[in-house]
């Protein structure tokens, strides 16, 4: 069973785009894959009735340093107790750098990590979001992933 953490703390539309990854990961790794999300408290409500998401870590203040943020400490401590197989980051902001570097995961992909260069013909936000996780799923699964 795989355990995966996804970071997306943007507005509601950004979080909806990021949901394209949920079914793709379940198709790729199996229905028993545990998917956790880091998102803002206001937008995380969309996952309350979504059985595909195991746990949501609300992150109130993105720019607060780890040592002052209980939210960030909770995420890091959870990853230390039970390491993630994958961390997938959809956030470009530098304020996530220290959080990402402290989360325990076997492989980290996405924005500001080892993300492949997005071809110029890919311009829609959903397609850009999908491209960030392209390397960890098969082409068939990638084509099926939708928000």
pLDDT of 83 > 90? The answer is yes
- Whole domain around residue 14: which residue ranges? 3-144
Q: What is the mean pLDDT of the chain?
A: 89
Give mean pLDDT, residues 7-34.
88
Residue-level pLDDT at 73: 96
**Confidence band of 106 (pLDDT split at 50, 70, 90):** very high
Give mean pLDDT, residues 67-80.
95
What are the tens digits of pLDDT across the range 116-128? 778 889 888 778 8
**Confidence band of 107 (pLDDT split at 50, 70, 90):** very high
Per DSSP, what are the bridge partners of residue 35? 4
Secondary structure (H, E, C), the chain: CCEEEEECCCCHHHHHHHCHHHHHHHHHHCCCCEEEEEECCCHHHHHCCCCCCCEEEECCCCCCCHHHCHHHHHHHHHHHHCCEEEEEECCCCHHHHHHHHHCCEEEEEECCCCCCCCCCCCCCHHHHHHHCCHHHCCHHHHHHCCC
What are the φ/ψ torsions at residue 34 (nearest 5 degrees)?
-90, 120
pLDDT of 62 > 80? The answer is yes
Q: How many independent structural domains does the chain possess?
A: 1
Residue-level pLDDT at 136: 86
Give mean pLDDT, residues 91-112.
90
pLDDT of 32 > 80? The answer is yes
Q: The domain spanning residue 12 has which CATH number?
A: 3.40.50.2000
pLDDT of 115 > 80? The answer is no
Give mean pLDDT, residues 75-86.
97
How far apart (Å, rounded) are the C-alpha atoms in residues 89 and 110? 5
Residue-level pLDDT at 5: 97
């Amino acid at each position: 069973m795989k355990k995966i953490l996804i970071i997306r703390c943007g507005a509601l539309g950004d979080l909806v785009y990021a949901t394209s990854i949920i079914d793709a990961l379940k198709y790729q790794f199996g229905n028993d894959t545990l998917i956790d999300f880091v998102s803002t408290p206001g937008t995380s409500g969309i996952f309350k009735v979504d059985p595909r998401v195991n746990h949501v870590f609300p992150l109130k203040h993105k720019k607060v340093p780890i040592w002052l943020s209980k939210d960030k400490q909770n995420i890091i401590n959870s990853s230390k107790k039970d390491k993630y197989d994958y961390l997938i980051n959809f956030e470009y902001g530098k304020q996530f750098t220290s959080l990402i570097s402290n989360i325990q995961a076997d492989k980290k992909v996405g924005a500001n990590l080892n993300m492949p260069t997005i071809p110029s013909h890919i311009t829609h936000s959903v397609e850009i979001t999908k491209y960030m996780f392209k390397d960890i799923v098969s082409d068939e699964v990638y084509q099926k992933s939708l928000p």
